[in-house]
Structure 1
């Protein structure tokens, strides 16, 4: 059994990033929980723990809704606001339409739920499309717009580009549905890392916060998820497994069983509540036309039903529609709601008692009656509500995104998911095929039910086909599905594979002498998104080894005569190499080297004996026999020749490359128009705000005192004209340049007025700062004058600062005297910038002197220095004389050759210095100094 590794980050896990060759865009990754009614997004990037992305309204979940009208788009909450008004252009629950043909029961149900939309049949693919104001949109292209919008929201939240994404899907998605979502991600220009089953994402999120609780004893968990249009039950097993290679123990999560219902969910409850509203309305209000045919009225009813559903199931709130009334309307859904649990347990082979824990998921699980149904099935087992129903899947998926992206190293958490729909290859045996092409059908399972994905690549061999042939890839027998589920599933045929070139290659190659046909092999792969791929096909041939020529054969026989020598040389060489290897690895073990050398040496006499003259003939015959026995038989040549392979989808044809390019271009065009519209709206808003603001300021005395009479007249006239233009002439076709130009004109008129206002506002603070600087500088000068004896500052420095201070004070007094005589509209006596420059000059001079004082050392007079040195020498001389007396008393006097005593050298030297009255440095001292 093959399994794939999935990784999670727990709360205490530190994300380690590698900033070598990767940009921030390649390191960041996101996940999208692409639900039918709601979207949740999560992000992981360097330096930031995994977190849920907030949308523009700072909400953790976003409505899966888009409005397309008049070449404009609205997404999420903005679209929800206008969904009633533009119901004919509102698209939601699109995930239910992916990869389904027009005759699918789920498509029919969608048309019944949203009758106001215009549906168009794609004759080529057999799928449903939408007619939006005469433009045709495929389901994949609209889903791509929503995915692209999700990327924009994440990038705005992350403040960096993000492309890598993991998207969650229901486990019951078939091949066509998965391929359709992959195509949508391609149109959205996302780097899809994986389509992750949503129960796996929820299970990862559960295990992430309970890693320490997982032990060697297996624990089973049932996740019951009630979404908007589906109900799923998944049985998961958690166990701690030791790796053989590393010896580490890591948790492993295994899916044991899955059950589902693709129709029942929270939206079904909303629909039934809407029907109650409509029924009561028809009884109380008599209208000329049927309300069900009015799209606006039905949209209002649906929106109100969603709101009332939340209120009724959140509070015990009694109104015209009570909780009891709504519960009675959905009580018949009990069997459909519980059946997924029964199916999941049956697939897992477990009874309800074997489940250790039951966890509720999805917004629909908040409905008390649904909880009552589940509790009734499990009897006394407590229902767990600790998983965040809104965030769990998105957070679990972003764990996987962190693992699959290039820039994160995370703790290991192995996951094994189930293949719940078996895949097999069907073909007609070549031996049993008749003239009409009929014959015995052979079924070869390649990915059986309950196999784990992603699985290893499969290779099928076909040994009976020597001509071009075809095989079909189909779903196997699915006894686990009921009749309704089979209808909703769609086509059981996946694709037809035609392998061509077989005849030509077979005839050409088998005509060669000795060539044997060994069959044809086809390669299949099921990737980590659960999508099947056919990697190629090849023909296998076998040929005998090339025959040796006469000369080559003769040379071989001659060489055999001397094989004994060569054999011994090989033995000797081999042992020498063995000895060399021992030397390389045995620096710490010299005995190994000695043993190797001894072994090599002992082989030499044996070689001499073998090649000696006395036994040459006998040994040569023996060696020749051994060479013949030990000569390896040459194997036949294995030849592989690639064959042409063409795959045709039989379930739902994929969207064409040309359609993908067209959809991308359409999105680019939408985004260009939206950018232009945003710029135009901003310019319109700025001009309108300016006009309204000026209209108010032109009546205020505080603003008017900075205007001259002429300026007031011109501004008043311009503002009035702009306001009239905005009210009367501006429409949706007004170009952005006109808004910009009008604002530029007003800004030019305001420029001198704003300059005066700024000068008037900033001047008092600059004057205050200057006066404060004057006080500080005067205090510093007083301090500097008191330090004159220390000679820290020169007279030039002090005089320079004093002069600068006096000049600045005189300048300010003169300018302020002039300024006080001016009007607000007159040119100022001095600019604020000039005052700041004066302040900086004075501050710079003071800081220079302060810095000098900080590192300066006070100077000491020469006389004081001389007295200190003399005192130190006198103290040293006294100590020396005392030591000399002590030595002379202890030691006998030594005599010279003439019999005279020899005095201690140190004592003599000191006495000489004392008699001469001088130091070593030659300084003459007075008696008083001693």
Structure 2
């Protein structure tokens, strides 16, 4: 029984330890800013607030390139170097083709920019595959997963712990398929994505969190213009302070809302670089240095691209510069002068597109330029003087905002959001409301009645998320007339604002299709019990901007009392009469027009369109955050949007369809409570079969295969690292020992014969390493290293003893002196009435001291007779064991002092000896306290804590002895000074108060639970401090 309880206790302890380790690992969160050319990674952990993670080259940004060569993967600067020599094996700019079909126009643009990549079509999904060699093909998701995994490795190296939770930034114009592809890539490498955050929202958050005091209830508008490597966006953001419900109270917190976004997918710094590369190639071909064409040599084009990027950056600060490349092609060098004017001339059509994103953002937000407080620049492309000139002229401003770090703002804003969403951090709330870029509709066939004479079914369209609708948000769409199983599609709509190329990129506007089954069974089951309130489809657009169908249910209502049933009957009659004087939703002539009405720009829920009023087929309503168990931190923000526009509910009468607003009056609340108390709602789940129609997600089989592929690559990488490490260890040992063996202690501690044999073995191993290292295995390197170490073992041991022996002997000398001093001190208290130590204990310590001293003297004398190359008899290990034995015995006696409690004296004896014993003891204690110097705990190092306490203990005992000696020498004086009753009372009182004082100190040393990290450190300090103080008082 005892054993079983013991095992259970150990199991519980193990579970607690693992739980604590898991919580500690989850305290750290990261963000990954996925740019077109570079990625930046940031981290938040206890003690490290919002810090950019450095990669292994100590750089703050890492190229988003993964290269393959000789069966190895390369990242960062190694991948860039590989891209110059073997461009077809180094894949970059993945974000342009991620989540896109093979025949997408954007893929054609990518193929024209980088002709050296071999792109294949995935026959199952229709997406893009990269062919690395004859046997190696990777999907875009797999390649992105490799980059994300490397970002995770950098973060874990920086944090020195496991990090799984992350917020990843994506371009705001990413559609549903592209966002799902990023999530798939993260899932492949075990990253838990807290949110996909648009990079413009992350930048706006980073800008706002440091200026939260500047915002108030009046909305302030800012524009963020971001020209990155591959695209350009203009974002109008509104900052204001809003009231939100936090728990049971209302709080005022700042919030940013994305009001408008304009973008150009192909206008970026890369396009300017490509124009300059084409100019350099054309100029070099015109010089006729070789018959070869630069465009036909991929390696030469890769070199030109890098040089064009460098020249472009220089021309941002200088008016002219020279492009220079040695051995560009056919051993011919390139040297061409380029001026800023030439660059501007060859990119006139690009600079003409600079203001288009701003125009689109202003149009969709319905905000004018004078209303914008400041225009803030982002992205490397905005550093070009021509771009800034055009922006200032268009905006009518003399200067543009450059107050944020264009490279790191998105990563820092995203990691702040990660800390807010993650567990273990408490951050100041700053609301973020992103906007949906592409309107999303639900389309379904109108269910025909028996007397319907139409030849074909009509298609009904309803907008559930209009353009710039804020998210995260939940909506419910109600199908009122469907009595049989049916199907509806979720599609993009209203894409007229896009360019022709962008519209073609969508291919089919279909996103997904849902087949509902079990509708007829649910109706027949509740036909006689309750009244149908329609079929409700619960949609959610989460914080990542991904739309999902949460559930579908058929809703019925019934009254639970006869009185309620009677009241319901009169209510229906009143509604029918009222319908005679209002626009009926069931009139047949108004259901013929099936055209889709355009959504209102500021309308939050688009289900209440005119067509919806006419058809009565469906209604959409915004979900109240309190009704959903999945409610996240933005429920209070959703309620704020409800106040502006309330969607119609299925319970509304026809006359009120699409016009009901939230009523907060007490009368309305009372009616709602009365109705809820008397009406019972019945919900029947409807089975849903979903189908993705835009870009197919990974099947389970494909996902597992890709995950295994990445795992195998990871193992190969680790095996390669271990192989290189074993090779480096062997090489380092050879070079290091060849250098040391002929000089210094290695020469003195070895014989001529030993050195000659070892030199021969080192030379042979070095020759083998030079000839066979390329094909050798890790085990061979380890065997060679072991053979060398075995041969050099005696020499290494002697060198170690020679170098470390003086330190060990000094430590032994100090330990002997301290122990002897301690023994001499405690012997002075052996004749007291209630001794602390027994005679056996003191004899044992004295014997150990004498034996140690004798061993030291004899061994030192024997060692002096030996030569440095002889095997030593005085070993550092033996010295350490002697020190440990002395410390262990002394620590035992010190602990006995700490735990010693004097025996209580009988009352009669206490009164009898009151005039002598008590004054003597108390005066001795008082003198001791006065003579004992104060100690500074803050200066005591952890490693020396035990030694310092022991020395203090000896010092305290010695002080008591000296005081007692002085007491005996001047006994009459002491009796005259402290023989009075008043003095005795004070002394007794002082002696009695010491234990209380000790408990009070222990209480005061307890740390306040303000910060768990600070609490741990404070607790350690207080414990060591109280222990020290208690010891001194004893």
TM-score, normalising length: structure 1: 0.75
Cα 1:108–1:821, aligned 2, differ >3 Å: closer, same or farther? same
Counterpart CA distance in 1 for 2:826 and 2:675 is 104
Helix, strand or coil at the partner of 2:355: helix
1:521 to 536, 550, 561: 536
Q: Could you say which residue in structure 1 is the equivalent of 2:239? A: 238
Q: Could you say which residue in structure 2 is the equivalent of 1:166? A: 167
Q: Offset of 1:166 from its aligned partner?
A: 0.9
2:343 to 292, 316, 326: 326
Task: Give deviations 1:791-839, integer Å, cap 9, x for gaps.
Answer: x999999999999999988877776665454322123353345566778
Is residue 855 from structure 1 mapped to residue 965 from structure 2 by the alignment?
Answer: no
2:777 to 715, 735, 756: 735
2:718 to 672, 675, 682: 675
1:250 to 250, 253, 257: 253
Q: Could you say which residue in structure 1 is the equivalent of 2:267? A: 264
Counterpart CA distance in 2 for 1:103 and 1:800 is 90
Is residue 754 from structure 1 mapped to residue 769 from structure 2 by the alignment?
Answer: no
Q: Could you say which residue in structure 1 is the equivalent of 2:408? A: 391
Is residue 688 from structure 1 mapped to residue 731 from structure 2 by the alignment?
Answer: yes
Q: Could you say which residue in structure 2 is the equivalent of 1:572? A: none
Cα 1:20–1:839, aligned 2, differ >3 Å: closer, same or farther? closer
Counterpart CA distance in 1 for 2:838 and 2:532 is 107
Cα 1:231–1:48, aligned 2, differ >3 Å: closer, same or farther? same
Instruction: Please give the residue correspondences for 1:498-897 in structure 2 after superposition, counting only pairs within 5 Å.
Output: 498-502=515-519, 509=525, 519-540=534-555, 639-700=682-743, 702-732=745-775, 734-765=776-807, 819-828=863-872, 830-833=874-877, 852-856=957-961, 857-859=963-965, 865=971
Deviating more after overlay: 164-173 vs 529-538:
529-538
Q: Could you say which residue in structure 2 is the equivalent of 1:915? A: none
Asked if the contact 2:276/2:343 (under 8 Å) is kept, the reply is yes
Instruction: Please give the residue correspondences for 1:918-929 in structure 2 after superposition, counting only pairs within 5 Å.
Output: none
Q: Could you say which residue in structure 1 is the equivalent of 2:176? A: 175
Asked if the contact 1:97/1:107 (under 8 Å) is kept, the reply is yes
Q: Offset of 1:66 from its aligned partner?
A: 0.5
Counterpart CA distance in 1 for 2:847 and 2:679 is 107
Asked if the contact 2:65/2:75 (under 8 Å) is kept, the reply is yes
Deviating more after overlay: 91-100 vs 432-441:
432-441
Counterpart CA distance in 1 for 2:382 and 2:808 is 66
Q: Could you say which residue in structure 1 is the equivalent of 2:469? A: 451
Helix, strand or coil at the partner of 1:184: helix
Q: Could you say which residue in structure 2 is the equivalent of 1:81? A: 81
The answer for unaligned runs of 5 or more in structure 1 is: 1-18, 549-630, 877-930
Q: Offset of 1:368 from its aligned partner?
A: 1.6
Task: Give deviations 1:698-739, integer Å, cap 9, x for gaps.
Answer: 43365233223442343223212211211122224x221111
Counterpart CA distance in 2 for 1:253 and 1:658 is 42
Q: Could you say which residue in structure 2 is the equivalent of 1:416? A: 433
Asked if the contact 1:432/1:440 (under 8 Å) is kept, the reply is no
Asked if the contact 1:71/1:670 (under 8 Å) is kept, the reply is no
Asked if the contact 1:223/1:359 (under 8 Å) is kept, the reply is yes
Cα 1:204–1:779, aligned 2, differ >3 Å: closer, same or farther? closer
TM-score, normalising length: structure 2: 0.68
2:298 to 295, 298, 322: 295
Asked if the contact 2:439/2:492 (under 8 Å) is kept, the reply is yes
Q: Could you say which residue in structure 2 is the equivalent of 1:310? A: 313
Q: Offset of 1:322 from its aligned partner?
A: 2.8
2:370 to 353, 358, 366: 353
Asked if the contact 1:229/1:268 (under 8 Å) is kept, the reply is yes
Q: Could you say which residue in structure 2 is the equivalent of 1:906? A: none
Helix, strand or coil at the partner of 2:143: helix
Cα 1:763–1:528, aligned 2, differ >3 Å: closer, same or farther? closer
Deviating more after overlay: 25-34 vs 472-481:
472-481
Is residue 441 from structure 1 mapped to residue 459 from structure 2 by the alignment?
Answer: yes
Cα 1:540–1:212, aligned 2, differ >3 Å: closer, same or farther? closer
Is residue 377 from structure 1 mapped to residue 410 from structure 2 by the alignment?
Answer: no
Asked if the contact 2:314/2:321 (under 8 Å) is kept, the reply is no
Instruction: Please give the residue correspondences for 1:92-241 in structure 2 after superposition, counting only pairs within 5 Å.
Output: 92-133=92-133, 134-241=135-242
Counterpart CA distance in 2 for 1:468 and 1:782 is 98
2:484 to 467, 482, 489: 467
Q: Offset of 1:453 from its aligned partner?
A: 0.9
Helix, strand or coil at the partner of 1:688: helix
Cα 1:703–1:503, aligned 2, differ >3 Å: closer, same or farther? same
Helix, strand or coil at the partner of 2:316: helix
Asked if the contact 1:428/1:438 (under 8 Å) is kept, the reply is no
Q: Could you say which residue in structure 2 is the equivalent of 1:617? A: none
| Backbone CA RMSD of aligned residues | 4.2
Helix, strand or coil at the partner of 1:746: helix
Cα 1:689–1:435, aligned 2, differ >3 Å: closer, same or farther? farther
Helix, strand or coil at the partner of 1:60: coil
Q: Offset of 1:862 from its aligned partner?
A: 7.8
Helix, strand or coil at the partner of 2:262: strand
Higher Cα Rg: structure 1 or 2?
1
Cα 1:765–1:484, aligned 2, differ >3 Å: closer, same or farther? closer
1:485 to 475, 483, 502: 502
Counterpart CA distance in 2 for 1:863 and 1:852 is 19
Asked if the contact 1:514/1:544 (under 8 Å) is kept, the reply is no
Q: Offset of 1:546 from its aligned partner?
A: 11
Helix, strand or coil at the partner of 1:438: coil
Cα 1:431–1:249, aligned 2, differ >3 Å: closer, same or farther? same
Counting matched residue pairs gives: 772
Deviating more after overlay: 421-430 vs 863-872:
863-872
Counterpart CA distance in 2 for 1:801 and 1:155 is 51
Task: Give deviations 1:79-132, integer Å, cap 9, x for gaps.
Answer: 112221221111111111122112222110101111111111112222111112
Bigger RCO (CA 8 Å, 6+ sep)? 1
Asked if the contact 1:509/1:515 (under 8 Å) is kept, the reply is no
Asked if the contact 1:32/1:168 (under 8 Å) is kept, the reply is yes
Asked if the contact 2:219/2:240 (under 8 Å) is kept, the reply is yes
Task: Give deviations 1:173-199, integer Å, cap 9, x for gaps.
Answer: 111111111111211221111111111
Counterpart CA distance in 1 for 2:478 and 2:844 is 98
The answer for unaligned runs of 5 or more in structure 2 is: 1-18, 323-336, 564-673, 891-949, 983-1034
Q: Offset of 1:375 from its aligned partner?
A: 0.9
Q: Could you say which residue in structure 1 is the equivalent of 2:1028? A: none
Counterpart CA distance in 2 for 1:758 and 1:742 is 22
Asked if the contact 2:441/2:462 (under 8 Å) is kept, the reply is yes
Asked if the contact 1:69/1:132 (under 8 Å) is kept, the reply is no
